[in-house]
Structure formats: structure tokens, C-alpha cells
Amino acid sequence: MSVTPPRQRGVAMMEALVALLVLAFGVLGLARLQVGALTESRNTNARAVAVQLAADLAERMQSNVAVRRANPALNPYEIRWGAPPAAGTDCLATACDGEELAAFDVRAWKLNVRSLLPNGDASVFRSDTDNNQFGVLMRWTSFKAMNEDIAPAGQDALYTRADAVTDATGAVGTGVASEICTTGFTCHLVYIRP
């Protein structure tokens, strides 16, 4: 007498479900990689824009011969966080002296920072160690925080604290204690010598 094995039912369905589950995890992993790549691409683009904005400010300062030669103790290009200054003399329409040109440049430059970086702002300060060198600290809303809704404290210190940046000699920070990156923003520090 021969014994017939019991019939297995549903094995193909189980295999298909397991395969579908593995495929779903793979697709989710690829989607996560794509979001991460997009975030890093945006951060890289924002840093490139920040470098270009710092170079633009250096050129504006360099072209203002009156202020550059006078080298006043309080340079009109030194600005703090906040809204661009009110519109003054339009130096494109009329001749301006050095102070008026500096005010015109600062307003135009801060408006560029605001328009090219998300929630962009900047602070320009004179270096403590070199009277002819200026620090340009720019900040913008972190793409990481916008995309992942994470607390800024969870970010790498390099992106949230200006005092996590070191120069070639190993000195920490911006060189000016009051110039730090605001929590919740990504910052980029550039030193310029107009």
C-alpha cells in the first residue's frame, strides 16, 4: 500500500508574500538613500552659494576705495544678524561717497543672502587677530531639520556651532566670542581680506 503525502497548499502564496516583503524593504531603502542624497545635494549647493556670496562681499569691499583706504575703526561693512538696512542713496543712479556706497552694498548684499539661501542671514565682523581681515558668517535653515523634523541638537556640531570650526592653527571658532551659529541653522564661516 502506498502512502500519498499530504498536499501542501499556500506555499507559493507564502513565497510570493515573503518576496514582496523583501522587495518593499529594498524600495524603502532606495527611497531613503535618494532623500539623503537630495538633502546633501541641497546642503552642498547652499555652501557653494555661501562661498560665492562671501566673494561678492569681498569684491564690493575691495571696490569701495574710500572706505578701504580710510580703514575706519568701525567699518561700515561690519553688520550683525537681522534685516537688511533701510534703503538709502541709490548709488546706481547718483554718485555716492564711501559711506553711502557701503550702506548701498550692505543692503543689496543682505537682500541677496536672503533670496539665495532659505531664511538666509549673515553677520560680518572684523577679525580679532588681523585688522584687515573680516569674518563672514552666513546661516540658513538646515535642510536636514526641514526634511527630517529632527531637533537641531541631533545634528553634527560642525553644522550647528561656529565654535566647532577650527582654523589652520587649531584655534577654535570664529575668533570673536559673540559670533556663533544660531541653533537650528546651518552656518558657513569664510574669512575675507578685501
Residue 84 cell numbers, joined: 537688511
Using an 8 Å Cβ cutoff, are 174 and 125 in contact?
yes
Alpha-carbon distances of 92 from 65, 95, 96, 108, rounded to whole Å: 17, 8, 9, 11
Burial per residue of 125-146, b for 16 or more beta-carbon CB atoms within 10 angstroms, e otherwise: bbbeeeeeebbbbbbbebbbbe
The pLDDT of residue 169: 59
| pLDDT digits 0-9 by tens, 98-136 | 899 999 999 999 999 999 999 999 999 988 777 788 889
Residue 59 cell numbers, joined: 569684491
Task: Give SS3 for 1.
Answer: coil
The pLDDT of residue 53: 94
The pLDDT of residue 155: 44
Count the residues in the chain.
194
The pLDDT of residue 116: 93
Per-residue pLDDT of the chain in tens (194 residues, 90 and over written 9): 666 666 667 778 888 899 999 999 999 988 888 888 888 888 888 889 999 999 999 999 999 988 888 878 888 999 998 888 888 888 888 888 889 999 999 999 999 999 999 999 999 998 877 778 888 999 898 766 444 444 344 444 444 445 455 555 556 555 565 677 777 788 888 888 88
Residue type, 20: L
Using an 8 Å Cβ cutoff, are 61 and 194 in contact?
yes
